[in-house]
C-alpha cells in the first residue's frame, strides 16, 4: 500500500482541480463552440463572417474607440488627482483618498442608474446623445480604478529625484515629461489594463445609458447569448481574449523599457 | 499658496462630480415624486416604498447571503490554494498560478459566458449552487493574491520547528502556519465580499431566475423604467452605511496612531 | 486568532442557514411559472408596493389567491415560484440552456410552433380545463385548432401590433401607415421594439407596401373575403427568403437613424412623460398607457393599426416536458375563471382569451355608453359563451371608440392582420440580420479619426525607438572616443 506523506503542497491539488473544472474547462468549451457549427463539425465560418462583415467590424472599432476614449479621459482626470493625493504638500490625510475610493463600494448598477437620472435631468439621454451619455457613465464608473493604481505608484515615488531635477535646472514641464511620467509608468500601465478592455467587454452601462443604440462587443456577446447563439457569442469572447492578450503584450514591453524611470 | 488652493479646489471639484449622481438620488429620496426634478415637499415615502417592496427586500437578503457564503467558501479554498501553491514545485506553481490568474485578467463576460456554457453542456440546472460556483470562481484568485504575499513574508522555519516538537502536520498547519497569514486571509475575505456584493455579469449568467440579487433587480429597473423612488432610498441607505464604515475606520486608525504615539 | 476563527464559523453558519432556508420548500408542492413581465395582477403598484383598491382594501395577488384556492380545494399547500421574461428569445434561452424545470411557460404563437416541432411540450388535457372549455372564445379556439396548437396550448392573452401615439402631437392621418416611422418630422420621437420578430413586421410591411396596399383595395372592393385577405397578409409578413431579409435589413438600418431607440417595456411609460410621440406597441400596452395617461394628466393617447396590415398575436400557456401536469392544469383552469381573467385584463390592459357573460358585462361597463352613437359588434368573439338573447353589441361614443377597438378589434381590422410563423432554418439568418441592424452606425469621419490615431501611435513608437537607437549610438561613440 502506497502511503502518501501529507505535504503542504498537496493542498494545491484541491485548488488545481477546482480551477481546471471551472476555469479551464469552460474556456475550452468556448473554443469548441466558437469553431464548430451546429452539427459539431469544425468550421471557421464565424471567423470569416466576423472579419468580412462591416457590422461586426464597426462594432469592434466603436468598442476600441470608446475603450480608448474612456481610458484617456480617466487618465487625464485621474492622474492629477492621484498626484495631488499622493503629494504631502497638497494632501495630508487619508480621508480624501478614501472618499475617492468609496464609490466603488456602492453597487455599480445602482451608480449607473443614478448617473442615468442625473444625465436625464440635465438633458442628456440615450435618445439624443447615446455615445456621450455612455462615455460619461463609463468615466464615472472607472475613474476610481484609475486613481488607485496611480496613487499606489506615486506614493512610492522618490521625491528627492524630482527635487534633484529641479536643482539641476529642469523646468516643471521637462520634469513632468521626462521624469515623473516614466516613474509612474507602472501605475499608468495598471490603470490602462484595468480600464481599456473591461470597458469594451461591459454591456450594462451601454445598455442603460445608450438606449440600446451603443453596441460594444460586450453587448454583442450578451445579445448573441440571449438568442441562444452560443457559437457567435463564443467567437466574440475569443476576440476579447485576443484583445486582452494583445494589451498585455504591448504593455509588458513598455514596462520593461521604462521601468527604471530615470532621466536617461 | 495659490498652487495649494488650486490643487485643493481641483480635488474637491472632481470629488463633487464623482458624487453628483449619488447626491442627487440622496436629495430626491426625501420627497415623494416619480420624476427627479420636481420637489413635492419633504417626505419619507420612498423609504416606505423601499421597506414595503418585498422584491427589493428579498434581493437584499439574497445578496448578503450570497456574498457571505461565497466569501467563506472562497476564503477557505483560497487559503488551501495559496498554501498549496507556495509549497509546490516551480513548475506546478507556475501552472496553477497561470490558471488562477485567468479570472483576474479575463473580461467578466467571458468568464460568465464560459461558466454558463459549461453548465448547459452538462445539462446542469441553474441553482444557488451554480451561482455560488460562479462567485467563487470570480473571487478566489483574489483571495489567493491576498494570501501569497503574507506567505512570502512568513518565517518558514516555525512550521518545521513545530513538526520537530512533535506536532502532527495538520496541527502544525492550523496552529502555527495559519495564524501567521491571518491578515492576508482576512483581507482576502473582505475582498471576496466586496467583489461578490458588486457583481452583476457573472450573477446574471449563473443564477436561477428565481434568485434575485440587488444587482439584477436594479439592472432590470434601470434598463426598463428608470429607478423608482424606492431605489433612491436604497442608494441613500447604502451610501450612509459605507460612509459610516469609512468614519469608523478612520476613527480606529487615528486611535491606533494615538496609541502608538503615546507609547513613545 | 481563535476569535477570528470563531467569527468566521459564526458567519459561515449563518450564511449556510440562510441559504438552506432559501432552498427548503415549506409547501407540499411547488409550481414554477415563467411568464411575461407585467402580465398578471400581483396586487402591486408601479413601485412594487402592495396597492389598495377603491375601498382602501389591499389588493391580493392572483398568485396568492391561487395558492389559497388550491389549499381550500385539496387541503395541500402549493408554492408558486413566479418569474418573468421580456422576450420570447430570452425565455427560450432560459428554458434550453438554463435547464430550469418550469411547469408553465407563456410563449407567443410562432414560438409555440417551434416548441411543438422540437417536441418540447406536454399535451393538454382539456377535460381538466372546464373553465377554458366553457368560457374561452370559440373564435380563438378555432384559430388554435386550425394551426394545431390546441393540443399543446391554452390561450391566455391576444392582441395586435400597432402605433400608440400622442393624439395632441401627431396627426391621425400620419399613423395610418408604417412609413411614418421613417418620417423626418418625427425624428427621435419614435421608438420601435427590441424584439426581432415584432420589428421585422415593420420592415416587411414597409418593403412590400405596394402589395399590401393592393390587397387592401381588393378587399374593400369585395374581390376577396376576410380569410383570403388575412391569409395573403400572413404569407407576406412571414416571407423569410434571403432577398426579403436583405431588403428588410436595409430598410431597418435606414429606420434606425430616425428613431429615439429600441425598447421593450419602457415605451409605454416614455410616451406618457412626453419623451416620445409614437411608440410601436402591443395593443395591451397601448390600452394600459391610454388609460393611465388620461387618469394621470388627461393626456390623450390613441392606438392605430396601419392600413397596410399588421400582426395578430396570441400568447398561450404551454407545459414543457417534465412539468407537473396536474398542478399546471389546476393553475390554468384557475386563470380561465372569468373573474380572474377579468382582473388580469383590467390590471395589465391586454385582452383575455376568456369570454362569457361576466366578461361581456365588464366590457359594457368599461366602454358602454347609454345612447351612444357608435356601435361595435363583438359577436364574433363572444358568440357561444354568453346566455341566450344577450346583446353582444356595445354601444359607445367617440371618446371610448378608439380604446374599445384597441381591446377588441373589428373583423375588418383583423382581416388585415397576419399571424406569425416560425422561421425554422432561416431563424439563424434572421438573428444574424437583426444583430447587424442593431450594430453601431459609424459615420465616415470616425474612420479617419481612428486611422489618424493609429498612425499617430505607430509613429510615436517608431520615433521613440529611433531616438533611443541614436542615443545608444552616440553613447557608444563617446565611449569609443575615450
Residue A244 has pLDDT above 80, yes or no: yes
Beta strand segments in C307-455, E: 310-317, 351-352, 374-377, 393-396, 417-418
In a domain, B2, yes or no: no
Q: CA nearest B126: which of C131, A174, C96?
A: C96
Does residue B47 sit in the same domain as residue B109? no
Does residue B106 sit in the same domain as residue B185? yes
- pTM reported for the whole predicted model: 0.89
Say if residues A199 and B109 touch (Cβ distance below 8 Å). Answer: no
Say which range, A51-55, A148-152, A257-261, B155-159, has the weakest mean pLDDT. Answer: A257-261
Which residue among A26, A103, A244 sits closest to B115, beta carbon to beta carbon?
Answer: A26
Q: Which residues of C touch B71 (CB under 8 A)?
A: 11
Chains that touch C (3 or more CB pairs under 8 A): A, B
| Alpha-carbon separation of residue A28 from A24, A253, B120 (angstroms) | 6, 28, 14
What's the pLDDT score for residue C16? 62
Q: CB-side exposure of A235: number of CA atoms within 13 Å? A: 19
- Is there a contact between A215 and C438 if contact means CB atoms under 8 Å apart? yes
Helices (H), chain A: 11-19, 25-34, 45-52, 54-86, 95-101, 108-121, 130-155, 159-167, 172-174, 181-183, 185-201, 204-210, 217-226, 230-258
What's the pLDDT score for residue A3? 54
Per the structure, the count of domains in chain B is 2
In a domain, B1, yes or no: no
Question: Chain B residue with minimal CA distance to C35?
Answer: B209
pLDDT digit string, tens, across residues B208-256: 989 999 999 999 888 877 788 899 999 999 999 999 988 888 888 888 8
Cα dihedral C448→C452→C455→C458 (10° resolution): -130
How much is the average pLDDT of B2-13?
Answer: 87
Which residue among B37, B87, B99 sits closest to A9, beta carbon to beta carbon?
Answer: B87
Instruction: Provide the b/e sequence for B209-247 (b: ≥16 CB within 10 Å).
Output: bbbbbbbbbbbbbbbbebbbbbbbbbbbebbeeeeeebe
CA dist C235 and B210 (Å) reads: 39
Looking at domain C26-143+318-339, its CATH superfamily turns out to be Periplasmic binding protein-like II (3.40.190.10)
Residue B169 has pLDDT above 60, yes or no: yes
What's the pLDDT score for residue A258? 41
In a domain, B9, yes or no: no
Does residue B134 sit in the same domain as residue B99? yes
What's the pLDDT score for residue A261? 34
Decide: helix, strand or coil at residue C94. helix
What is the extent of the structural domain holding A125? Answer: 43-258
User: Hey, where are the domains in chain C?
Assistant: 26-143+318-339
Q: Which residues of B touch A113 (CB under 8 A)?
A: 218, 221-222, 226-227, 231
Q: A126 and chain C: CB distance < 8 Å anywhere?
A: yes
In a domain, A223, yes or no: yes
Cell numbers describing residue C155 = 390561450
Q: Which residues of A touch B120 (CB under 8 A)?
A: 230
Locus of grid cell 428554458? C95
Sign of CA dihedral C268, C274, C275, C278: positive
Pick the residue of B15, B29, B86, B113 with the most A CBs within 10 A to test the interface with A by mutation.
B113
CATH number at residue A165: 1.10.3720.10
Which residue among B49, B126, B224 sits closest to C98, beta carbon to beta carbon?
Answer: B126
Does residue B186 sit in the same domain as residue B171? yes
Does residue B173 sit in the same domain as residue B249? no
Q: CA nearest C176: which of C341, C306, C334?
A: C306
CA dist A152 and A189 (Å) reads: 12
Q: What is the DSSP string of A112-143?
A: HHHHHHHHHHTT--TTT-HHHHHHHHHHHHHH
The residues in B 45-64 lying below 8 A from A, measured between CB atoms, are: none
In a domain, B12, yes or no: no
What is the extent of the structural domain holding B118? Answer: 55-226
What's the pLDDT score for residue A257? 45
In a domain, A30, yes or no: no
Pick the residue of C93, C432, C435, C465 with the most A CBs within 10 A to test the interface with A by mutation.
C435
Q: B190 and chain A: CB distance < 8 Å anywhere?
A: no
Sign of CA dihedral C243, C244, C245, C248: positive
DSSP class of residue A5?
A: P
Q: Which residues contact C73 (CB under 8 A, 6 or more apart)?
A: C330
Taking phi over 0 as left and psi of -120 to 50 as alpha, with beta for the rest, C49 belongs to beta
What's the pLDDT score for residue C384? 87
Q: Are strands C351-352 and C154-166 parallel, antiparallel or unpaired?
A: antiparallel
DSSP class of residue C318?
A: B
CA dist B23 and B29 (Å) reads: 10
What's the pLDDT score for residue A263? 30
Percent of residues, chain B, with pLDDT higher than 90: 58
Does residue B155 sit in the same domain as residue B245? no
In a domain, A7, yes or no: no
CATH number at residue B110: 1.10.3720.10
In a domain, A24, yes or no: no
| Alpha-carbon separation of residue B203 from A234, B76, B198 (angstroms) | 18, 21, 10
In a domain, A112, yes or no: yes
Higher pLDDT, A123 or B205: B205
What's the pLDDT score for residue B163? 81
- Is there a contact between C431 and A127 if contact means CB atoms under 8 Å apart? no
CA dist C322 and B136 (Å) reads: 31
DSSP class of residue C54?
A: T
In a domain, A220, yes or no: yes
Q: A104 and chain B: CB distance < 8 Å anywhere?
A: yes
Give the gap in angstroms from C-alpha C265 to the nearest C-alpha of chain B: 6
Does residue B41 sit in the same domain as residue B164? no
Does residue B97 sit in the same domain as residue B34? no
pLDDT digit string, tens, across residues A178-228: 788 888 888 888 889 889 999 998 899 998 888 778 889 999 999 999 988
What's the pLDDT score for residue B47? 92
Per-residue confidence in pLDDT tens, chain C, 482 aa: 566 666 666 766 666 665 555 555 578 899 999 999 889 999 888 777 888 888 888 899 999 999 999 999 999 999 999 999 988 999 999 998 888 999 999 999 999 999 999 999 999 999 999 999 999 999 999 999 999 999 999 999 999 999 999 999 999 999 999 999 999 999 989 999 988 999 999 999 999 999 999 999 999 999 999 999 999 999 999 999 999 999 999 999 999 989 988 888 788 888 988 889 999 999 999 999 999 899 888 999 999 999 999 999 999 999 999 999 999 999 999 999 999 999 999 888 899 999 988 899 989 988 988 888 898 999 999 988 888 888 888 888 888 899 999 999 998 899 999 999 999 889 989 998 998 898 888 888 888 888 888 898 888 888 888 888 888 888 888 887 76
pLDDT digit string, tens, across residues B51-74: 988 899 999 999 999 999 999 999
What's the pLDDT score for residue C179? 94
3-state secondary structure A216-235: CHHHHHHHHHHCCCHHHHHH
| Alpha-carbon separation of residue C463 from A150, A177, A211, B19 (angstroms) | 26, 16, 42, 41
Q: Which residues of B touch A103 (CB under 8 A)?
A: 18-19, 22
Pick the residue of B65, B175, B176, B218 with the most C CBs within 10 A to test the interface with C by mutation.
B65
In a domain, B168, yes or no: yes
Does residue B211 sit in the same domain as residue B95? yes
What's the pLDDT score for residue A5? 67
Indicate if ipTM > 0.95: no
In a domain, A19, yes or no: no
Helices (H), C221-350: 226-237, 242-256, 267-270, 283-297, 325-335, 338-348
Q: A182 and chain C: CB distance < 8 Å anywhere?
A: no
Q: Are strands C301-304 and C190-193 parallel, antiparallel or unpaired?
A: unpaired
In a domain, B5, yes or no: no
Per the structure, the count of domains in chain A is 1
Phi, psi for C29 (deg, rounded to 5) = -130, 160
Per-residue pLDDT band for A264 (boundaries 50, 70, 90) equals: very low
CA dist C177 and C185 (Å) reads: 14
pLDDT digit string, tens, across residues B84-121: 998 888 998 999 999 999 999 899 999 999 999 999 99
Residue B161 has pLDDT above 90, yes or no: no
Amino acid at each position: 500500500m502506497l502511503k502518501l506523506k501529507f505535504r503542504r503542497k498537496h493542498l494545491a491539488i484541491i485548488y488545481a482541480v477546482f480551477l481546471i473544472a471551472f476555469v479551464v474547462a469552460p474556456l475550452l468549451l468556448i473554443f469548441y463552440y466558437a469553431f464548430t457549427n451546429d452539427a459539431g463539425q469544425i468550421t471557421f465560418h464565424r471567423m470569416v463572417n466576423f472579419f468580412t462583415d462591416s457590422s461586426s467590424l464597426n462594432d469592434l472599432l466603436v468598442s476600441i474607440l470608446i475603450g480608448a476614449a474612456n481610458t484617456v479621459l480617466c487618465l487625464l482626470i485621474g492622474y492629477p488627482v492621484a498626484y495631488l493625493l499622493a503629494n504631502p504638500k497638497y494632501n495630508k490625510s487619508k480621508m480624501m483618498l478614501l472618499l475617492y475610493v468609496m464609490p466603488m463600494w456602492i453597487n455599480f448598477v445602482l451608480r449607473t442608474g443614478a448617473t442615468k437620472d442625473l444625465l436625464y435631468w440635465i438633458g442628456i439621454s440615450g435618445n439624443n446623445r447615446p455615445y456621450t451619455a455612455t462615455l460619461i457613465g463609463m468615466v464615472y464608473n472607472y475613474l476610481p480604478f484609475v486613481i488607485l493604481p496611480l496613487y499606489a505608484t506615486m506614493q512610492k515615488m522618490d521625491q528627492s529625484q524630482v527635487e534633484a531635477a529641479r536643482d539641476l535646472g529642469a523646468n516643471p514641464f521637462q520634469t513632468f515629461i521626462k521624469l515623473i511620467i516614466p516613474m509612474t509608468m507602472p501605475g499608468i500601465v495598471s490603470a490602462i489594463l484595468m480600464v481599456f478592455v473591461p470597458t469594451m467587454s461591459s454591456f450594462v452601462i451601454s445598455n442603460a445609458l445608450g438606449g440600446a443604440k451603443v453596441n460594444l462587443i460586450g453587448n454583442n456577446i450578451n445579445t448573441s447569448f440571449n438568442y441562444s447563439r452560443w457559437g457567435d457569442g463564443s467567437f466574440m469572447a475569443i476576440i476579447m481574449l485576443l484583445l486582452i492578450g494583445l494589451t498585455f503584450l504591448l504593455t509588458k514591453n513598455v514596462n520593461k523599457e521604462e521601468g527604471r524611470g530615470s532621466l536617461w | 499658496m495659490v498652487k495649494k488652493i488650486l490643487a485643493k479646489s481641483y480635488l474637491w471639484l472632481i470629488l463633487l462630480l464623482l458624487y453628483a449622481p449619488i447626491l442627487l438620488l440622496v436629495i430626491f429620496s426625501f420627497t415623494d415624486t416619480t420624476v427627479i426634478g420636481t420637489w413635492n415637499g419633504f417626505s419619507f415615502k420612498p423609504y416606505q416604498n423601499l421597506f414595503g417592496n418585498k422584491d427589493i427586500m428579498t434581493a437584499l437578503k439574497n445578496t448578503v447571503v450570497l456574498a457571505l457564503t461565497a466569501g467563506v467558501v472562497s476564503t477557505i479554498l483560497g487559503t488551501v490554494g495559496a498554501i498549496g501553491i507556495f509549497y509546490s514545485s516551480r513548475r506546478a506553481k507556475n501552472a496553477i498560478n497561470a490558471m488562477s490568474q485567468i479570472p483576474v485578467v479575463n473580461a467578466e463576460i467571458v468568464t460568465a459566458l464560459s461558466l454558463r456554457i459549461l453548465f448547459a453542456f452538462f445539462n446542469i440546472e441553474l441553482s444557488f449552487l451554480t451561482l455560488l460556483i460562479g462567485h467563487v470562481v470570480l473571487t478566489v484568485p483574489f483571495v489567493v493574491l491576498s494570501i501569497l504575499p503574507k506567505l512570502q513574508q512568513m518565517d518558514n522555519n516555525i512550521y518545521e520547528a513545530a513538526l520537530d516538537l512533535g506536532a502532527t502536520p495538520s496541527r502544525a498547519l492550523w496552529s502555527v502556519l495559519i495564524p501567521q497569514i491571518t491578515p492576508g486571509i482576512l483581507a482576502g475575505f473582505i475582498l471576496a465580499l466586496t467583489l461578490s456584493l458588486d457583481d452583476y455579469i457573472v450573477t446574471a449568467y449563473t443564477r436561477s431566475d428565481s434568485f434575485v440579487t440587488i444587482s439584477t433587480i436594479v439592472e432590470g429597473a434601470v434598463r426598463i423604467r428608470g429607478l423608482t423612488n424606492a431605489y433612491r432610498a436604497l442608494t441613500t441607505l447604502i451610501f450612509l452605511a459605507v460612509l459610516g464604515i469609512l468614519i469608523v475606520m478612520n476613527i480606529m486608525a487615528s486611535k491606533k496612531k494615538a496609541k502608538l504615539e503615546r507609547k513613545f | 486568532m481563535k476569535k477570528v476563527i470563531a467569527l468566521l464559523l459564526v458567519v459561515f453558519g449563518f450564511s449556510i442557514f440562510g441559504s438552506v432556508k432559501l432552498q427548503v420548500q415549506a409547501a407540499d408542492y411547488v409550481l414554477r411559472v415563467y411568464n411575461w413581465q407585467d402580465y398578471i395582477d400581483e396586487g402591486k403598484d408601479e413601485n412594487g408596493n402592495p396597492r389598495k383598491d377603491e375601498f382602501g382594501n389591499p389588493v391580493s395577488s392572483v398568485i396568492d389567491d391561487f395558492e389559497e384556492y388550491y389549499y381550500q380545494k385539496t387541503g395541500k399547500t402549493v408554492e408558486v415560484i413566479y418569474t418573468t421574461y421580456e422576450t420570447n428569445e430570452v425565455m427560450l434561452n432560459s428554458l434550453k440552456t438554463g435547464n430550469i424545470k418550469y411547469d408553465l411557460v407563456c410563449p407567443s404563437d410562432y414560438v409555440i410552433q417551434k416548441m411543438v416541432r422540437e417536441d418540447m411540450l406536454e399535451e393538454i388535457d382539456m377535460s381538466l380545463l372546464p373553465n377554458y372549455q366553457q368560457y374561452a372564445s370559440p373564435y380563438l379556439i378555432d384559430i388554435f385548432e386550425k394551426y394545431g396548437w390546441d393540443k399543446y396550448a391554452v390561450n391566455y392573452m391576444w392582441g395586435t401590433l400597432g402605433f400608440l401615439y400622442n393624439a395632441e402631437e401627431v396627426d391621425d392621418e400620419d399613423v395610418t401607415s408604417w412609413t411614418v416611422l421613417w418620417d423626418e418630422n418625427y425624428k427621435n420621437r419614435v421608438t420601435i421594439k427590441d424584439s426581432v420578430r415584432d420589428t421585422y413586421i415593420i420592415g416587411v410591411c414597409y418593403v412590400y407596401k405596394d402589395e399590401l396596399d393592393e390587397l387592401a383595395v381588393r378587399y374593400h372592393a369585395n374581390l376577396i373575403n376576410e380569410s383570403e385577405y388575412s391569409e395573403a397578409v400572413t404569407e407576406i409578413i412571414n416571407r423569410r427568403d434571403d432577398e426579403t431579409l436583405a431588403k428588410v435589413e436595409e430598410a431597418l438600418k435606414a429606420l434606425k437613424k430616425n428613431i429615439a431607440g429600441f425598447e421593450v417595456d419602457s415605451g409605454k411609460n416614455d410616451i406618457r412623460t412626453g419623451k416620445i410621440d409614437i411608440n410601436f406597441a402591443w395593443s395591451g400596452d397601448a390600452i394600459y398607457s391610454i388609460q393611465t395617461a388620461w387618469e394621470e394628466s388627461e393626456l390623450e393617447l390613441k392606438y392605430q393599426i396601419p392600413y397596410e396590415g399588421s400582426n395578430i398575436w396570441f400568447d398561450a400557456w404551454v407545459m414543457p416536458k417534465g412539468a407537473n401536469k396536474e398542478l399546471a392544469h389546476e393553475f390554468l383552469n384557475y386563470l380561465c375563471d372569468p373573474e380572474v381573467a377579468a382582473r388580469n385584463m383590467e390590471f395589465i390592459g391586454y385582452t383575455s382569451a376568456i369570454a362569457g357573460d361576466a366578461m361581456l358585462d365588464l366590457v359594457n361597463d368599461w366602454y358602454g355608453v347609454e345612447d351612444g352613437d357608435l356601435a361595435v359588434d363583438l359577436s364574433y368573439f363572444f358568440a357561444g359563451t354568453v346566455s341566450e338573447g344577450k346583446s353582444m353589441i356595445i354601444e359607445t361614443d367617440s371618446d371610448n371608440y378608439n380604446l374599445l377597438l384597441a381591446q377588441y378589434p373589428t373583423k375588418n381590422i383583423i382581416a388585415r392582420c397576419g399571424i406569425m410563423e416560425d422561421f425554422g432554418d432561416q431563424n439563424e439568418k434572421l438573428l444574424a440580420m437583426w444583430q447587424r441592424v442593431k450594430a453601431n452606425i459609424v459615420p465616415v469621419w470616425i474612420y479617419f479619426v481612428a486611422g489618424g490615431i493609429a498612425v499617430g501611435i505607430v509613429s510615436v513608437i517608431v520615433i521613440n525607438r529611433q531616438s533611443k537607437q541614436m542615443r545608444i549610438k552616440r553613447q557608444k561613440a563617446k565611449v569609443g572616443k575615450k
